[in-house]
Chains A and B, each alone.
Chain A
């Protein structure tokens, strides 16, 4: 297997390059971008992020814990006030709401760490510091005999530089 890198100057050009490569049957692609880009995301066609499930689980855990904790503690140490119920649901909704946000937020970040930083960790030698500046990289993993075709596609997509990545 070989890695071919194309360097571009604009996110729309990068998205075009990805679309052309995928159209030619090259699905094992990676993109380096200094900015978030909807166009590149749509071109890569990777589907929904798993982070949303983390948020849902966090939010549901928070709201459940908020109500269960406050109600249980009220009955464990009852404060008798004029015959009123020990547990006051409207008052406890504030706590449940805050814990929904807290757990939802913390688990969202945990989801980002797992999906975006651990499982998506990139170790390719194609990366260069200019990809966090003003350049975009499009890396194609292909067989050695496909390299000329990939180079042709990348050059046709407006890459300012195309090269085979060493090592």
Chain B
């Protein structure tokens, strides 16, 4: 198997060499990828400018479906952002050392995903410049925001998550930036000199650093569970059939970890191949991530089944109609894409040989990304298009403006990830070396 034939690092300096290879000057292919991503992002900015000038009428949003692609994409990217904190904080507390090779990539992905997500509520409100209405600030009319609204909870949850994710990334990066400062000879040396904050890896510095990482992990662990719970309450606190259920919080959290781990695989497989990081990011890491996918896919599949079962068992006509519509109504195709990608496609990962096959894992991860976007689309559009009164039923079709902005969200995310890849170590060098020294063979 691939895991048996992959090289292991010869020594600690070899780990440095392997990882800092990603910081070499960019290749033409890299520049082309950045230009492509930049071009799509620019098209998205153009579509947003068009929407801002002509108003929300240029979208497909109309009564009764007033939440569409934008809120779907917001929930999708918040979900993606969960993998970084899961891998960095929760697995850190559980002392799962295998996380060391992938946590930096996942943390960077988390930061860019949550920044991408944060733009969508603003795009959705149409009048971008009114976003500050969501903040509790003293104003002329003496009125305050309504803290009983789950939308306000979301502002605080996503705001806190963004801040803590960025801090987590920076704290972990400091020792590695210092290592880059000591090795990279070009103009970036000055940047690293500033960003390493005088780090030299003294005993005192490590003592405070370890304590800070431990506390941040302890704080981020309940945070990561709360954020997608709060996002799920945007739906569950309402009375819309198909939304008003108590399983939404754990169902959303499991789905978020599922999609987040899938995105880590989607992003890291090409990085590993491009920079020859096979000795650092090994097949066993994909095996472990595959186990997470199997677990969360099972939870998500169970949640889908529970929703349908409870609709039938409740004898509530509106719930039953909502779920009949979900499976066999106007959006049947989206529902079955969701079920196929999230429940059926991951099934082979129960077999270890499949989890060790990196190519198979990568293809599966792309299907899961698609499936998890459709999961949010299905929940939002089927719920709103088919509420209580048949006279108020409708059908939502996204416009080209929404689809362009959706595509731009992916390019925006990838563009910043690619820039990060060339600017900072994509693997946590100090943590990989820590594992290396802990192995008996290192002595």
Shortest Cβ distance from residue B269 to the other chain A in the assembled complex, whole angstroms: 27
Q: In whole angstroms, what is the CA distance A108 to B163 when docked?
A: 13
Residues of B within 8 A of A98 (CB): 153, 156-157, 159-160, 223, 226
Decide if A70 touches B203 in the complex (CB within 8 Å). no
Q: In whole angstroms, what is the CA distance A52 to B182 when docked?
A: 30
> What is the interface of chain B mostly: helix, strand, loop, or mixed?
helix
Decide if B202 touches A73 in the complex (CB within 8 Å). no
Q: Is A60 part of the binding interface, using a Cβ–Cβ cutoff of 8 Å?
A: no
Which of B205, B212, B216 touches A120 (beta carbons < 8 Å)?
B205
Decide if A134 touches B207 in the complex (CB within 8 Å). no
CB-contacts of B396-443 with A (<8 A): 429-431, 433-434, 437, 442-443
- Total A-B pairs, Cβ < 8 A: 193
CB-contacts of A107-160 with B (<8 A): 108-109, 111-113, 115-117, 120-122, 127, 129-134
Q: Is B209 part of the binding interface, using a Cβ–Cβ cutoff of 8 Å?
A: yes
Q: In whole angstroms, what is the CA distance A122 to B223 when docked?
A: 34
Which of A32, A79, A92, A104 touches B215 (beta carbons < 8 Å)?
A104
CB-contacts of B144-203 with A (<8 A): 144-148, 152-153, 156-157, 159-160, 163-164, 167, 170-171, 175, 178-179, 181-183, 197-203
Residues of B within 8 A of A94 (CB): 153, 156-157, 226, 230
Decide if B226 touches A49 in the complex (CB within 8 Å). no
Q: In whole angstroms, what is the CA distance A109 to B197 when docked?
A: 13
Which of B143, B148, B156, B178 touches A88 (beta carbons < 8 Å)?
B148
CB-nearest residue of chain B relative to A116?
Answer: B208
Q: Is B16 part of the binding interface, using a Cβ–Cβ cutoff of 8 Å?
A: yes
Shortest Cβ distance from residue B203 to the other chain A in the assembled complex, whole angstroms: 4
Residues of B within 8 A of A95 (CB): 147, 152-153, 156
Decide if B142 touches A77 in the complex (CB within 8 Å). yes
Residues of A within 8 A of B153 (CB): 91, 94-95, 98
Q: In whole angstroms, what is the CA distance A132 to B156 when docked?
A: 38
Residues of A within 8 A of B159 (CB): 98, 102
CB-nearest residue of chain A relative to B211?
Answer: A49
Q: Is A162 part of the binding interface, using a Cβ–Cβ cutoff of 8 Å?
A: no
A108-B146 in contact given A69-B136, A98-B226 (Cβ < 8 Å): no
Decide if B198 touches A122 in the complex (CB within 8 Å). yes
Decide if A37 touches B206 in the complex (CB within 8 Å). yes
CB-nearest residue of chain A relative to B12?
Answer: A134
CB-nearest residue of chain A relative to B141?
Answer: A77
Shortest Cβ distance from residue A41 to the other chain B in the assembled complex, whole angstroms: 6
A109-B167 in contact given A99-B160, A104-B219, A133-B12 (Cβ < 8 Å): yes
Decide if A35 touches B147 in the complex (CB within 8 Å). no
CB-nearest residue of chain A relative to B168?
Answer: A105
CB-nearest residue of chain A relative to B203?
Answer: A31
A129-B215 in contact given A40-B206, A73-B144, A77-B142 (Cβ < 8 Å): no
The CB with the most chain B CB atoms within 10 A, among A40, A116, A121, is that of A116
A44-B163 in contact given A36-B209, A73-B136, A111-B212 (Cβ < 8 Å): no
Q: In whole angstroms, what is the CA distance A133 to B9 when docked?
A: 13
Decide if B148 touches A105 in the complex (CB within 8 Å). no
CB-contacts of A47-89 with B (<8 A): 48-52, 55, 59, 69-70, 73-74, 76-77, 79, 88
Q: Is B210 part of the binding interface, using a Cβ–Cβ cutoff of 8 Å?
A: yes
Shortest Cβ distance from residue B150 to the other chain A in the assembled complex, whole angstroms: 8
Residues of A within 8 A of B182 (CB): 129-130, 132-133
Q: Is B11 part of the binding interface, using a Cβ–Cβ cutoff of 8 Å?
A: yes
Shortest Cβ distance from residue A42 to the other chain B in the assembled complex, whole angstroms: 10
Decide if B179 touches A34 in the complex (CB within 8 Å). yes
Q: Is A19 part of the binding interface, using a Cβ–Cβ cutoff of 8 Å?
A: no
Q: In whole angstroms, what is the CA distance A32 to B200 when docked?
A: 7
Decide if B205 touches A109 in the complex (CB within 8 Å). no
Shortest Cβ distance from residue A45 to the other chain B in the assembled complex, whole angstroms: 10
Shortest Cβ distance from residue B210 to the other chain A in the assembled complex, whole angstroms: 5
Decide if B212 touches A109 in the complex (CB within 8 Å). yes
Decide if A32 touches B201 in the complex (CB within 8 Å). yes
Residues of B within 8 A of A6 (CB): none
Decide if B197 touches A127 in the complex (CB within 8 Å). no
Q: Is A106 part of the binding interface, using a Cβ–Cβ cutoff of 8 Å?
A: yes
Decide if A108 touches B219 in the complex (CB within 8 Å). yes
Of the A-B pairs whose beta carbons lie under 8 Å apart in the complex, a sample of 18, sorted by A's number, is A30-B202, A32-B200, A36-B434, A37-B206, A49-B208, A73-B136, A77-B144, A98-B156, A98-B223, A101-B226, A102-B164, A104-B215, A109-B171, A112-B212, A116-B204, A120-B208, A132-B183, A134-B11
